[in-house]
Chains A and B, each alone.
Chain A
Amino acid sequence: MSMPVLSVKNLSIDYIGEKSDFRAVDDVSFDIAPGEFFGLAGESGCGKSTIAFAISRLHRPPALIRSGEILLEGRNVLDLDKEQLRKFRWSEVAMVFQSAMNSLNPVLTIETQFYDVLHTHLGMNRSQARERAAQLLELVDISPDRLKSYPHQCSGGMRQRIVIAICLALNPKLLIMDEPTTALDVVVQREILQRIDKLRVEFGFSVLFITHDLGLMVQVCDRIGVMLEGKLVEVNAAQDIYTAPQHDYTRKLWASMPRLHGEQIRQGAQ
């Protein structure tokens, strides 16, 4: 692999309690290549969201990064100071959350939300921002007259697409998506992921896709990492994770998912 876009090395994160600590992430290491669609799978509490937050430096106490590095194109994200962090966010790494439907400010129009980001980072004025926003909305197949709308006038899927468009505004190198489509219907989910896949090929950014839906990940990811209780138990190409899982837990996950077509899983496979 040429210099990876993201390199997580021996990352350990704890949640500090009154008497004892909870190890959310335990010595996790993985790389993401430029332009790669990487998936991080696992059930609730496995630590996948914790890693995502750490990459964006979004953690608050009682979270504590105990050890390890997070290198974005060679620079350790954990060492960045406030000013560097400000430049870093949105332009190098952008993040889409599960409840992104609630990430949009309900009292601002869509246009203003784009303006916020474009003005702060690129110094654009209102009309320049409007033009760029229209271009970005087109990327996610939304008509530019939506710029004048408020978030509550758009459907859940549409809001999610708007957030993605804002994330792409500054051409980040890495797009992190934390369960972006879990609350949406399958058809909308498919539309959004397929679009992101196309945009990734067109613009060359990498994607860190976090979800519990292993079947979905095999469809769209290049490589997949499986997490269990803070540890990364298996990392492999998507097809191999599906056809030749190495770790017991991965096998257990596959045995727990009913199949839509073909041979059904066995009932006693628990």
Chain B
Amino acid sequence: MGNWYMLTMVGKDRPGIVAEVSQVLFEAGGNLGEASMARLGGNFTVMLMLQIDAEKDDVENLLQPLGEKLALFFHIDKIIGDLYHHVEPNFRLSVHGADQPGIVSMVASSLAKLKFNILNLESDVGGSPEKPIYIMHIEGVADCSLSSLEKSLQPLINEKGIVMHLVSIDTMLG
């Protein structure tokens, strides 16, 4: 079935990018795996697992004309396509407050000390240009209690004046 690659693309957002990229890959015999696309600050961004019977150079040559046409930067890495082994998050952390330097770094450092593995992180800047607010959601897995996580995050809440909401995720399997 070919090699797995991670294709990263970044450019100015406009309608039709996903359609054009996926058509080129499909016509070249590519198979898409997991993907995450987001519009970040007006930019189109996507990370896309691609399985294709081709070497990295060939994939780059395939995408070059499209990259030029759509003004997209792209980057390709060979990866292991480890599908069907999802790790379930057991905690979800929501953070929001006045935007200020260091929120992510401080939150992530506290989590890392407890060997919290971040599986998903999404953040947005909202509010107004004069008074921006920062909103972040983290899902991850850690082998510790909710209260120990809360304890490690408490100093940040006090210091940064941000609001944190931490919950355990109890996946209902039925």
Q: Are A and B subunits of one complex?
A: no
A→B interface (CB under 8 Å): none
B→A interface (CB under 8 Å): none
